């Protein structure tokens, strides 16, 4: 994905709404930040995060909000491209 396409996807209202919706589902599922991260990763990436990912993503979600982490996951190469 080129830079203009990546920015368009990053800022797309549909993606923003879905990131917020996923965050709300994760927050409903658990009050624990790490469990919320695991919930979001399972929904988006179809796998649990590695220990390092969980640590980094939990810290990111605490600093920038869970919806922003969900937005990052939805814009990740792992989600966007089939291997």
Q: What is the pLDDT of residue 81?
A: 82
Which residues are CB-neighbours of 33 under 8 A, at least 6 positions away?
A: 58, 61, 62, 66
pLDDT bucket at 5, cuts 50 / 70 / 90: low
What's the mean per-residue pLDDT of the chain? Answer: 91
Q: What is the pTM (predicted TM-score) of this model?
A: 0.88
3-state secondary structure of 81: coil
pLDDT bucket at 47, cuts 50 / 70 / 90: very high
Which residues are CB-neighbours of 50 under 8 A, at least 6 positions away?
A: none
Q: DSSP letters along 13-62, please?
A: HHHHHHHHHHHHHHHHH-S-HHHHHHHHHHHHHSSPPPHHHHHHHHHHHH
Q: What is the pLDDT of residue 27?
A: 98
Angstrom distance (rounded) from CA 28 to CA 12 = 25
Q: Higher-confidence residue: 80 or 69?
A: 69
């Amino acid at each position: 994905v080129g830079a203009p396409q990546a920015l368009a996807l990053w800022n797309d209202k549909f993606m923003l709404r879905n990131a917020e919706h996923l965050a709300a589902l994760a927050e409903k599922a658990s009050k624990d930040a790490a469990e919320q991260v695991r919930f979001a990763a399972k929904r988006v990436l179809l796998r649990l995060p590695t220990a390092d990912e969980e640590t980094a993503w939990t810290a990111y979600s605490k600093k920038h909000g869970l919806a922003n982490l969900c937005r990052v996951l939805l814009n990740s190469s792992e989600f966007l491209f089939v291997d």
